[in-house]
Structure 1
Amino acid sequence: MWGLKTEPALERTDLTASAVAARLAGWAPAERVLAAPIDPELADTAECAAAYDIPLEASANCVVIAAKRAGQVRMAACMVLATTRADVNGAARRHLGARKASFAPQGEVVAATGMEYGGITPVGLPEGWPILVDQAVLEAGHVVVGSGLRSSKLVLPGADLAELPGAEAISGLGVRTD
């Protein structure tokens, strides 16, 4: 697909972080998920899209946020297309009922997920984390997302992200950047 050499992810768990492989093993849509090796230096969305001829409209970013209310911090993931940015302090904060929301510290995200920065994916996030998925991601057809590693990507139908535990579709979560 595009310029990626894809294979069934269930057969190539070496191309995923261990938490991702564990989620795929117990997830009904996993049979539709493909994995592809990439140059880890090209893991960031724009560079990956350019190098592998992936339209930005088919690239989805997973942003982890820390939502705070009454002294409690709750982590959540936001899935938005690469042509948008996550409305962290608007749509995400309101949906989570938080007083304040911000991007979660990189070190905390890596430690909590067991995934590499630049490869964070909603597939295999810790139990109990809400996964807010912009409606545009669900309607995008196949999308490229992280695999938990910088050295590979997953390709799957965007609509399948709604089937992840804790996933919720949010209209307007992604705000156009142009």
Structure 2
Amino acid sequence: MSTPMDAFDKVRPATECLDLLTAPVAEAVRGWRGTVPAEQLLYVDTDPEKADTAVFVETYGPWLLEQSANCVVISAKRGGEATLAAALVLGRARADVNGVVRRHLGARKASFAAMDTALGATGMEYGGVTPIGLPAGWPVLVDAAVADSPHVLIGSGSRRGKLIVPGRALAELPGATVLDGLGI
């Protein structure tokens, strides 16, 4: 089986590409703390016009769908208060927002956050939202299938470029909780 690294000509440590990352992602890589060394967070340059999952895997390799993960921003409401959280699921799956996410966050209602809200709160671009560099205190829900993956291709904060990260590094992010059945 191929790895995400096999799809790209040039794979570099993200620590060497901080200028290509959005500010919150670069800051998170700079201050990386975890059992996975920061040098194992990899960066690949990609075409920003092909950042959406379906077009991306069509361009770079259909097998990448199984090794990619999407990060979505969720707005969870309870008692008139809204909380933002992130959910990370494999590219072939959808986040179970109305089931697993809502119950885990103890919310009455959970839905995808409005694009303006998500992008404004994260400082990232549409099509590039990543769990690395999210605001402090956010719950980061990681599907167990993502956490168990040797390497996962995720956004880099912008439409140009992707990160390749060991799944266990994502499970160790600040605020992360690994959940079975998050991706359906």
Instruction: Say which SS state the counterpart of residue 94 (structure 2) adopts.
Output: strand
Q: 2:21 aligns with which of 2, 9, 16?
A: 16
What residue ranges of structure 1 are gaps of 5+ in the alignment? none
Give the SS at the match of 1:128. coil
Q: With structure 1 as the length reference, what TM-score do the two structures score?
A: 0.95
In structure 1, the partner of 2:6 is 2
Structure 2 unpaired stretches of 5+? none
The aligned residue for residue 156 of structure 2 is: 147
Q: Which has the higher strand share?
A: 1
Say which of 152, 173, 176 aligns to 1:167. Answer: 176
* Alpha-carbon distance between aligned partners in 2 of 1:96 and 1:161, rounded to the nearest angstrom: 19
CA distance in 2, matches of 1:6, 1:147: 13
The answer to whether structure 1 residue 51 and structure 2 residue 59 are counterparts is yes
Map 1:4-153 → 2, pairs under 5 A: 4=8, 5-28=10-33, 29=36, 30-53=38-61, 54-153=63-162
**How far does residue 3 in structure 1 lie from its aligned partner after superposition?**
1.7
**Are 1:147 and 1:153, in contact at CA under 8 Å, matched by a contact in 2?**
yes
Q: How far off is 1:26 after superposition?
A: 1.1
TM-score using structure 2 length: 0.92
Once residues 19 and 49 of structure 2 are traced to their aligned partners in structure 1, the CA distance between those partners, rounded to angstroms, is 18
Distance 2:41 2:89 in 1: 18
**Would you identify which runs of 4 or more consecutive aligned residues in structure 1 move more than 6 Å?**
none
- The secondary structure found in structure 1 opposite 2:7 is coil
Query: What is the number of residues matched between the two proteins?
Result: 175
Q: Deviations over 1:14-41 (max 9, x none)?
A: 2211100100111133221000110000
Q: Following TM superposition, by how much is the alpha carbon of 1:47 offset from its aligned partner in structure 2, in angstroms? A: 1.3
Cα displacement string for residues 20-65 of structure 1 (whole angstroms, at most 9, x for unaligned residues): 0100111133221000110000001121122112521100000110
My pick for the range that moved more, 73-82 or 54-63, is: 54-63
The one-letter code of the counterpart of 2:91 is A
